[in-house]
Structures are given as C-alpha cells and as structure tokens.
Amino acid sequence: MNLAELNKVAEAMVAPGKGILAADESSGTIKKRFDAINVESTEENRRDYRELMFRATEAMSNHISGVILYDETLRQNAKDGTPLARVIEQAGAIPGIKVDAGAKPLPFSPGETVTEGLDGLRERLAEYYKLGARFAKWRAVIDIAPGIPSWNCINANAQALARYAALCQEAQIVPIVEPEVLMDGDHTIERCAEVTEWTLKEVFQQLFYARVALEGIVLKPNMIISGKKCPQQASVAQVAEETIKVLKRSVPSAVPGIAYLSGGQSDVDATAHLDAMNKLGGFPWKMTFSYGRALQAAPQKAWAGKQENVAAAQQAFAHRARMNGLASKGEWNKGLEG
C-alpha cells in the first residue's frame, strides 16, 4: 500500500468547490428512475444518459471531483468508442466503482440488514483498478424503528465496512466508507443523532482493528436530520449544528474529508444543509457532497430520453453541480437557485 498516493486521491476527491457524483444506481434503481420519465431502461439508454453528464464539461471540470460508477458503466464505451472511465478522466474527475452486493436481511433481526459482497472482492478490486477505478464505495444501511437498530446490526455492518476498506487499500484504491442511517420513519433529530454517533464510533473502532489508514479514506455519512414522517422537522441551522456536533464526537481528524449523502432530501435541502455546515466551520475535515438524486433528478427530468434535450439536461446538471460546489465552500444562498 502506498499511503501517500491513496491520500493524494482522497484529498482530490474532497477538493474545495468540488464533490462526488453518485452515478452507481443498480439496474433495478435506474429502471425506477427511467420509468418516472417514461424511458426504457436499455443498456444504450443508460449509457447515453450517464454519458451526457460525463460530457457536461463545465460541471465536470469545475465542480465534480469523482464519479461513482456501477459495474456495467465502468465497462461501457461512449458513443465514439472511448471508455466512459476515460471520458471522466478527460473531464478532470476520478472514476470510482460501487463494489457492494446490496443490503440483505440480517438473520433473526426483523427489519435490519447487513451489506454483502466481500466474497471475491480482492479479485474484483484488482480488475477494477485495471479498468481505471481509483476509489470504491460500499454502503451499509442502518434503519431506525421501534426496537432497532440493534448492536448486532451496527457491529455486523461496521465489520463489513472495515474489511472492505482494508481490501481497497491493499489494492491501492481509496475506500468511501458509507454508513447510512436512513431518514425514513418518524424519529426525531435527537434519535438520528444518537444512532448516527453510535454507528460512526463502531465503524471507526472496526477500521482501527482492520488497520485501515484513515488518511486514505473518505467518509460518506448521513446528515443528522429528522425522520421524513416526524411531525417536528428540524431547521437548516439545527441540522448543521447537530451534524457537526456528532461528527466531532465520532470522526478522527486524520480523515481527509467527509462527502455527505443526500439520503432522499430534496435538491435544495441537500444543498442548504451542506452550505450551512460549511458556513459554521470549526471542524478539521473538508466537507463536501456525494449526491445521486440531488444532482440527477433535474437533468433526468430535462432529458426525458430525447437527444434534442441533451443540452438542457447538461445545463440542469451543471446548475446543481455549481450550487453544491458553492455549498461545499459555504458560499451558496437560496437566491442563486433562480
């Protein structure tokens, strides 16, 4: 393992004004997104849609540091025959790859899951490196409901994240460590804070046991927010304050940066929360975004599967990328949304 090189990639992933595009939707998820805009989910349509974002020069070169890809996409070529990973590199961003096999039911623990995909991961990482990937992503899912999460669920997912991260660093690939406490449910912001702190502390304990070098990772956590069904929704200021408080208690300063997931928040909410945290300051890490829906919902709607809409879709993508790039520096305001 060359830690200096891993750190260089990790630092580039959280460079000021830039963040990560999560374009790693599984075939099932992208089909749901395409169904919503009446587009058939064929391999060609998936390629065309993702390529239009990767070729949005203004957005990619100025505001996107890296792109998380699905296995299919990493192996695809653009219309002109250029590998899509190369298109991303030419735009000045780093190709990455989703490597987990999804969350599966945790035995004897109703409502809880553990993420699978460790079998054969060492060999897959070696292949992904050859295909151009320089970072990877593994998502653990923690749900909040009556009686859960359990220690067993948090511990099982933390151990899997640590084993994945160690294998990535062995393969000279930066691991994005993503423990997501879901915003589904009616829990309060205080309950989200409690569960997230517990989860993060367990994850970093397991990373230590697995000898993962923190200087060569990027953390992708949820923000501390109220559950979607909670009657008392926290303000933007509360979200920023609670999130920074929990992360200060849980995340070592050796971690180069934190790239938040949007987790089902609206486009503008995800931007506003990130901006508020960066305006507050007072933390040792760079704080940026690793958004999927919050970057893609607008361009998907604008594109609608039509070639004549590509420019409009690229413009919509560029706008959201710019807004979040500003938020990553604490320079966004709602008036810029137009």
Q: How far apart are CA 53 and CA 302, in angstroms?
A: 12
- Residue 189: per-residue pLDDT: 98
In the numeric block, the tokens 């046991």 are attached to 209
Separation between Cα atoms, residue 85 and residue 79, nearest integer Å: 13
DSSP 186-243: S--HHHHHHHHHHHHHHHHHHHHHTT--GGG-EE-PPP----TT-SSPPPHHHHHHHH
pLDDT < 70 positions in the chain: none
Distances (CA, A) of 136 to 73, 161, 172, 321: 14, 12, 10, 21
Q: What is the pLDDT of residue 88?
A: 98
Domains and CATH numbers, the chain: 3-331 (3.20.20.70)
Contacts 24+ apart (CB under 8 A), 33-38: 33/296, 33/300, 34/305, 36/300, 37/300, 37/301, 37/303, 37/304, 37/305, 38/304, 38/305
CA-CA distance, 61 to 59, in Å (whole number)? 6
Where on the phi/psi map is residue 133: left (φ > 0), alpha (ψ -120 to 50), or beta?
Answer: beta
* Rounded Cα gap, residues 238 and 250, in angstroms: 18
pLDDT number for residue 142: 98
Q: Look at residues 150, 200, 216 and name the one whose alpha carbon lies nearest to residue 14.
A: 216
For tokens 């070169």, what's the residue? 61
Residues facing 290 on adjacent strands: 20
Sign of CA dihedral 156, 158, 161, 166: negative
Count the alpha carbons within 13 Å of 321 in the hemisphere toward its beta carbon.
27
Please list the active-site residues. Answer: 178, 220
Question: What is the structure's pLDDT at 338?
Answer: 75
Query: Whose CA is closest to 298, among 321, 328, 274, 332?
Result: 321
pLDDT at 200: 98
DSSP E strand stretches across 70-134: 94-98, 103-105, 113-115
For residues 129 and 16, the answer to whether their CB atoms sit within 8 Å is no
Whether the bond between 149 and the residue before it is cis, its omega within 30 degrees of 0, is yes
